[in-house]
Copies of this chain bind each other. A is one copy, B any other.
């Protein structure tokens, strides 16, 4: 008798952003005239930078000539891209990461979701609360959790680390000792950043307890304060306890282009195995590489033109963040984030529930955001807005919200 993976039955509703898309589609159908502004899902709106377009066109031309055609990519990615990443993202920041420790993929969402497969199902998982749902849902699917506890609003068996307003939304070291610790800084959804000193405490903790840190640095390009760490490998000892995920989605506008990478240091060992070996085996068996075109586009991100154009793009989005943050603060909202991250995390007014505020904002202001509760129980009472809209829409959204 064929059985399904019954862990899927534990999952709540649908994937958060699919859920929001459904609600917005239903509203649009009912109000076809409504001009909806979407500051919900963290999707970018600015076109690809000229240096990237040029690289893409050139790569397409190469694919049209047998002499320069590219078939299957090397298992772990093209050297031209892995070398550029090692040099620009790590060596330039004083981190010792070699090109072979960099695994090119189709994006950080896939990597964050896939990484748990190389670990046993008996590991205890710790996540921040609120949290990017992919970390939790993929562990639910893999059977590392119990059932959903309706009363507490989260899954049994997971160690939730509350990120509280009064602590700058950075979690405390957990009471129970986890085996796998997901951290994301700059944080999605709260927009909080972590200092090098605080991150070092986590690295020391992991090395002390034997836990592995799964560090999502997808938003590092938005860090504006000079002393904050862009990579966990800026901390001493991180090569012995941390895996890092990076994305091109937010720093280069690749949400629809799909490119990311994961760093697994060769010195990271657990349970008698080198994690690099396991991830390489998973990569080689389950995946056939990111498209050649896309890897060339990724390479262009690190050229002088690419870097300068993308700095402009990030400045554009961060100006949006400033407009939202200052606009809403001026209207009396309590707002966080938006300084080292493209997310603004606001307290819902008058103790409204976050899905209630979602409906209210959609209905009255025709603005889509993301309810904090969708990121976990501790997200209740908060709401995420993204700075990835275009300027005009961002201004209008803020005006509409302030007029409510």
Contacts and interface: CB of A to CB of B under 8 A. Distances in A.
A6 B5 CA distance: 19
Contact of A122 (B3, B70, B114): B3
B256 A63 contact: yes
Interface stretch (A52-60, A157-165, A230-238, A341-349): A52-60
A134 B69 contact: no
Nearest to A55: B60
A379 interface: no
A162 to B, nearest CB: 23
Interface in A280-327: 281-282, 284-294
A316 to B, nearest CB: 11
Contacts of A281: 8, 11, 14-15
Interface residues of A, number: 83
A1 B121 CA distance: 12
A285 B8 CA distance: 11
A283 to B, nearest CB: 9
A151 interface: no
A113 to B, nearest CB: 4
B110 A287 contact: yes
A279 B56 CA distance: 32
A210 B47 contact: no
A141 to B, nearest CB: 7
A256 B41 CA distance: 30
Interface string A109-121: 1100110011111
A53 B63 contact: yes
A271 B3 contact: yes
A118 to B, nearest CB: 5
B109 A288 contact: yes
Interface string A26-60: 00000000000000010111111010010011001
A2 interface: yes
Contacts of A106: 106, 258, 287-288
Contacts of A41: 72
A109 B287 contact: yes
Contact of A50 (B6, B64, B292): B64
When all copies of this chain in the complex are counted, the total is 2
A291 B110 CA distance: 14
A121 to B, nearest CB: 8
A211 interface: yes
A120 B3 contact: yes
A352 interface: no
Contacts of A64: 47-48, 50, 53
A71 B389 CA distance: 12
A329 interface: no
Contacts of A256: 63, 69-73, 289, 291-292
A285 B64 CA distance: 34
Contacts of A72: 41, 43, 255-256
Contact of A119 (B4, B65, B133, B286): B4
Given A4-B118, A110-B287, A210-B2, A45 B63 contact: no
A278 B4 contact: yes
A180 interface: yes
Given A5-B119, A257-B63, A292-B257, A285 B113 contact: yes
A110 B286 contact: yes
A310 B401 CA distance: 53
Contact of A4 (B65, B138, B273): B273
16 contacts: A1-B210, A2-B119, A2-B212, A5-B117, A5-B119, A8-B281, A14-B281, A18-B75, A47-B66, A48-B63, A66-B390, A71-B256, A106-B287, A134-B285, A256-B289, A257-B292
Given A45-B66, A134-B286, 4 more contacts: A8-B273, A113-B287, A138-B285, A255-B288
